[in-house]
Amino acid sequence: MSFTGIYRHSIDAKGRLIVPSRLRDNLEDAMATLVVMPDGCIGLWSGEQWRELEQRLIEQRRTGDMATRRGIRRMASLTFQDHVDGQGRISIPPDLREASGIERDVVIMGHLDHVEIWSTQRWDEEQATLDEQDPEEVSSRIQF
């Protein structure tokens, strides 16, 4: 299962987001786990990918220092699971929207094993940072 592509959508007045059909088709059992990420976006995982990440976090919590446990505690408190409804929507709770700076317009992008949901403002800032980097240096870090 692979999530790729970039899409622009809006959150409705009830805090719901339509998941693009190409991404939605890869959600196991139409289930989505939403997590506020340290870089300010919301990560969306499906089934098995979420279970694998959850197990890694549990192991880190057991063996990590206090800062690691606090980080995992914060992440867990800003995690929400939801089923995709009949119109292809998921709910994004107010706490997650606030923590990620999402108000209405969002950028949704595949990030291979999960999806990222960005406020348009934070995405533009992220893009500016990426544009400042030397493409050759970035490419050298990626091993194809």
**Domain 6-138, CATH number (from 3.10.105.10, 3.40.50.2300, 3.40.1550.20, 1.10.10.10):** 3.40.1550.20
**pLDDT digits over 46-79, tens only?**
988 898 989 998 898 888 789 988 989 998 999 9
pLDDT at 85: 95
pTM as predicted: 0.88
CA separation for the pair 105, 60 (Å, rounded): 34
Looking at residue 138, its pLDDT comes to 66
The encoded tokens of residue 40 equal 């300010």
**Stretches in the chain below the pLDDT threshold 50:** none
Q: Name the token pair of 77.
A: 């408190």
Domains in the chain: boundaries: 6-138
